[in-house]
Amino acid sequence: MYMYLFSLPEGLQCSHVPIEMKMKVCILAVALGLGLAHHNSHVKHGRTSIVHLFEWRWADIAQECERYLGPNGYSGVQISPPSENIVVTKPWRPWWERYQPVSHNLCSRSGTEQELRDMIARCNAVGVNIYADAVINHMCSNEGGEGRHSTCGSYFNATKEEFPSVPFTAQDFNDRNCTTRSGNIEDYQDINQVRDCRLVGLLDLAHRREYVRGKIADYMNALIDMGVAGFRVDACKHMWPEDLSAIYGRLHNLNSKWFPAGSKPFIYQEVIDLGGEPIKACEYYEMGRVTEFKYGARLGTVIRKWNGEKLSDLKSWGEDWGLMPSDKALVFVDNHDNQRGHGAGGKSILTFWEPRLYRLATAFMLAHPYGMTRVMSSYRWNRHIVKGKDENDWEGPPSFPDGSTKPVPVTPEGGCGDGWVCEHRWHPIKNMVIFRNVVDGEPLCNWWDNGSNQIAFGRGSRGFIVINNDDWTLDMTLSTGLSGGTYCDVISGQKEGGQCTGKQVTVGKDGRAHFRISSSDSDPFVAIHTDSKL
Ligand code: AAO
């Protein structure tokens, strides 16, 4: 049954499937209650955007929820994997050690189980949801050795595939189903390899086994009971959809202390689908949202003006560009992988290293109705690119000599110190998160472009954005869809104490307003919304 519902025969997958057959599959899935159970993100107070606080300590996230994320309308936080992982010392404490679990104990570089519990409760109390990064495809690498070099000191033996803290033993891994000589994935064109062999040597769990499904569900349920609102599920391409469906089917409802009774956890699944491989993102749509990696790659290309692409091309941005249906997509300009050359997306990806274009890309993403948006929050590393490859792409978060992660200090200007970038606190990004909340549910309208890199669009009668990515001044009077009055631009400033701290925009009774944006402005875009009206 599961096979039929979720794993369509090769050659018949997704876009090849006649629409009537897709409809039948969907209707059947919904009828069986397997349908859209995990698509509700349970955001509170009409909030819309989550932030990935990559590698932050639980104690800092708790504070950030209370002092910044709650008050500024962020809906949730994606946290780094909370499960116990291998401690890697060569290279020294790379960030990616957290993608090599050795048990389901909840102590990590981000803190103890008690700190995790405290953080979840405090964030929930201010209406900020927590989404945990669940690494359930695999355990540590086959080269992980033996011993207690793990974040809670649990013993494991990678060579023998023994993880007594769970416990998992050799029979719980996929080796017998993998046909490659190395035991690793060697060819992404072979579906069986991708799902039954080891991703870069990581010991691949046999999710077909009831026992394995049960242990993974127990782990996720422990987090649900603590109060998380859902999960980013890591490496979903490498798991059979029917196995994931069976695991999700075992999950508890969310903790009714903070969520309405009967709420299912929100799930967004990491599947890298840039086209060109037989495994398609759409195989996972029924079970939850899916990461849309084409989004950042394509948007980066347009904003960089590569291949003659221009902002005005974005008039049809969305499904027409080959992106997945909006209500299935989790979108982002960059993520923790592709900001440092891991994963996929390629060279067009914009990151905080190019702050001006990055703010522009993020503002566009937050203004545009497509998808559910995730803002990235990073730390600086000693970027050192040799022949196109970053030699220091492994560097872990700002830390003390003993490897423990440094706290995130907030500067008097409201930014972050000690190597933490805090893009989510950058003024235009923070204010565009608020913009997205204000215009939530409103259609895109009043599109204007100059046929080049100057564009503008509104969201119903609630918000309007104008962007100039050309090398000359934008000087136009445009229909905004907003009611007449004076609005504060939320990019150069904002509304404070009944005044604008930055530019002011006057909308006439006819809804039209004059905009002038120099190409040399530090942020060449202007945004106004109903809450920024004087
Ligand atoms: C580390 C070391 C390895 C070592 C291993 C075991 O770096 O050298 O062998 O330990 O000792 C992270 C790091 C890894 C790290 C791992 C474990 O990124 O470097 O390995 O922790 O510590 C694939 C997966 C995707 C995965 C991505 C990184 O499909 O799920 O690789 N992302 C997640 C996490 C990530 C994490 C893991 C999974 C593992 O977000 O942080 O890894 O838990 C193609 C495929 C993609 C594939 C990429 C990269 O992409 O389509 O599915 O992602 O290759 O291999 C064009 C194509 C595009 C293609 C791309 C790159 O753009 O259009 O499709 O080229 O070839």
Q: Which of 256, 257, 234, 260 lies closest to 247, judged by CA?
A: 234
Residue 440 annotated in active site: no
393 lines ligand 1 (CB under 6 A): no
**What is the tens place of the pLDDT at every residue in 121-160?**
999 999 999 999 999 999 999 999 999 999 999 999 999 9
Nearest protein CA to atom 25 of ligand 1, as residue: 235
Q: How far is the CA of 202 from the centre of ligand 1 (A)?
A: 11
Annotated active-site residue in 234, 286, 334, 423: 234
Joined tokens for residue 521:
């402005």
Q: Name the percent of the chain lying above pLDDT 90.
A: 92
SS3 206: coil
Q: How far is the CA of 343 from the centre of ligand 1 (A)?
A: 4
**What is the tens place of the pLDDT at every residue in 94-128?**
999 999 999 999 999 999 999 999 999 999 999 99
Query: Which are the contacts of 386, defined by CB distance < 8 A and separation ≥ 6?
Result: none
CA 279 to chain centre: 20
- The dihedral built from the CA positions of residue 286, 291, 293 and 295, taken in this order, carries a sign that is positive
pLDDT above 90 for 65 = yes
Q: Which of 234, 86, 81 lies closest to 157, judged by CA?
A: 86
Please tell me the distance from the alpha carbon of residue 385 to that of residue 525, in angstroms, as a whole number: 31
Nearest protein CA to atom 18 of ligand 1, as residue: 342
**What is the tens place of the pLDDT at every residue in 300-341?**
999 999 999 999 999 999 999 999 999 999 999 999 999 999
143 lines ligand 1 (CB under 6 A): yes
135 lines ligand 1 (CB under 6 A): yes
283 lines ligand 1 (CB under 6 A): no
237 lines ligand 1 (CB under 6 A): yes
Residue 234 annotated in active site: yes
pLDDT value at position 36? 60
More confident residue, 38 or 34: 38
pLDDT above 70 for 6 = no
- The dihedral built from the CA positions of residue 182, 187, 190 and 193, taken in this order, carries a sign that is positive
pLDDT value at position 345? 84
Q: Which atom of ligand 1 is nearest to the CA of 138?
A: 43
167: cis peptide before it, omega within 30°?
A: yes
More confident residue, 21 or 518: 518
pLDDT above 60 for 5 = no
Please tell me the distance from the alpha carbon of residue 319 to that of residue 300, in angstroms, as a whole number: 17
Give 14's pLDDT tier (boundaries 50, 70, 90).
low
Beta carbons of 171 and 201 less than 8 angstroms apart:
no
94 lines ligand 1 (CB under 6 A): no
Beta carbons of 142 and 166 less than 8 angstroms apart:
no
Residue type, 489: D
How confident is the model over 224-230, as a mean pLDDT? 98
pLDDT above 60 for 76 = yes
pLDDT value at position 250? 98
Q: Phi/psi at 440 (nearest 5 deg)?
A: -50, 130
Question: Rg of the chain over CA atoms, in angstroms?
Answer: 23
Please tell me the distance from the alpha carbon of residue 484 to that of residue 479, in angstroms, as a whole number: 11
Q: What angle do CA 510, 514, 519 make, to 5 degrees?
A: 155
Nearest protein CA to atom 36 of ligand 1, as residue: 99
- DSSP string for 360-390: HHHHHHHHS-SSEEEEEE-B-----EETTEE
341 lines ligand 1 (CB under 6 A): no
Annotated active-site residue in 270, 273, 283, 393: 270
The overall average pLDDT reported for the chain is 94
Give 34's pLDDT tier (boundaries 50, 70, 90).
very low
**What is the tens place of the pLDDT at every residue in 258-304?**
999 999 999 999 999 999 999 999 999 999 999 999 999 999 999 99
pLDDT above 80 for 167 = yes
Q: 3-class secondary structure for 153-206?
A: CCCEECCCCEECCCCECHHHECHHHCCCCCCECCCCCCHHHHHHCEECCEEEEC
Nearest protein CA to atom 22 of ligand 1, as residue: 96
Joined tokens for residue 189:
């064109």
Joined tokens for residue 225:
């009971």
pLDDT value at position 519? 97
